[in-house]
Amino acid sequence: MNTTNGLIAEQSKKTIANALLKVMEIYDYKEITITQIAQEARVSRKTFYRHFSDKDEVLKHLFGSLYQECLLTITEKGIHHYWDVVQCFFDFWEKHAETLTLIKQSDLLPQLFDESYGRSFEVFRYVKTAELPQTYKAQLPYLLAYSIGGMNSMLIKWIENGMSVPSSSIISCLLEGFSSEML
């Protein structure tokens, strides 16, 4: 495939993923059809199926794109510390509050969180540039699962409260909580 065709294909995928979000503003994810997505994207069903086998694949592409964007933000900012990554994570979702709300309304947070766990290793590889001591290598999956689980739980609580608290306040609360005798 030449570069131009690859760029056109990626643009088509992005258009279809954005169309899914637009349709989710009106319908619950479970009710959405391929025809609705294709019509909103202004593409034929044939074009839809050229890129995706079903709407779940569109959703997975959307989640992957979101996490890729978040990772790009981390790498562009040159973030190498845990709390800075957490801050970036919440800043990112604050920027994408409407998308996050749609995902929650359609009960799709578990799928989003599954994707986040898989991506956490990619983020860790970038953030921790030095070799991890051998003693922690076996524990890494558990440490990342704990960390991602906590961040996702905080994200749920934040959504439930209307995301009215700025992400910087959430991180300040976490830092204060972990450094206090409260725990």
Task: Please report, for the chain, the start and end positions of each structural domain, with discontinuous segments joined by +.
Answer: 1-53, 54-183
pLDDT, one tens digit per residue, over 32-49 is 999 999 999 999 999 999
pLDDT of residue 126: 67
Total-model pTM: 0.83
3-state SS string for the chain: CCHHHHHHHHHHHHHHHHHHHHHHCCCCHHHCCHHHHHHHHCCCHHHHHHHCCCHHHHHHHHHHHHHHHHHHHHHHHCCCCHHHHHHHHHHHHHHCHHHHHHHHHCCCHHHHHHHHHHHHHHHHHHHCCCCCCHHHHCCHHHHHHHHHHHHHHHHHHHHHCCCCCCHHHHHHHHHHHHHCCCC
What digits encode the pLDDT tens for the residues 139-168?
777 877 888 888 888 889 998 888 999 988
* CATH code for the domain defined by 1-53: 1.10.10.60
